[in-house]
Amino acid sequence: MKKSPVINSDISRVIAQMGHFDKLSIGDAGMPVPATTEKIDLAVTKGVPSFMAVLNNVLEELAVQRIFLAEEIKTENPQILKEIQQRLGDTPITFIPHSEMKQELNNCHAFIRTGEMTPYANILLESGVVF
C-alpha cells in the first residue's frame, strides 16, 4: 500500500505523469469540464470533499511553480482566495477571467472535481520541478 498522503489512484497517476509546465486543475462541483479533459470526480455530497482538503492533499506530492485563479474569486470568494494564498505562500498567482480558465481546462492533464459549493473555487496548478 502507498505510504504517501495521495492514495487516490487516479490523482497519483496523473501527478506521476506530469512534467515541467504541465497543468492540473482542482475545482468546485459546478465547473464545466471539456469532454477531452480527464475528470476525476471526488464529489460525494455538498461540501464533501472540500476544495481546500483536496488542494492540500495534491500539494503533498505536486511541485507547483505557478497557480492560476479566476479574477472573479477576489470579489466573489475572498475566503477561499485567502486560504489559497496562505497555503501556497510565495507561489506566483496569475489572475485570469473565469471564461479563460474554463478554456484552459483543455490544456490540463486532468480536472479534479470536489464537492465544493462556493463560487469560483477553481485553480490551475502549473507543475514545477524538484531539481
d(CA 31, CA 53): 17
DSSP state of 31: -
Active-site residue (options: 20, 74, 82, 87): 20
The span from the first CA to the last CA of the chain, in angstroms, equals 27
Would residue 18 be called left, alpha or beta, if left means φ above 0 and alpha means ψ between -120 and 50 degrees?
beta
d(CA 79, CA 126): 22
Q: What are phi and psi of 93, to 5 degrees?
A: -115, 130
20 is catalytic: yes
| Active site residues per annotation | 20
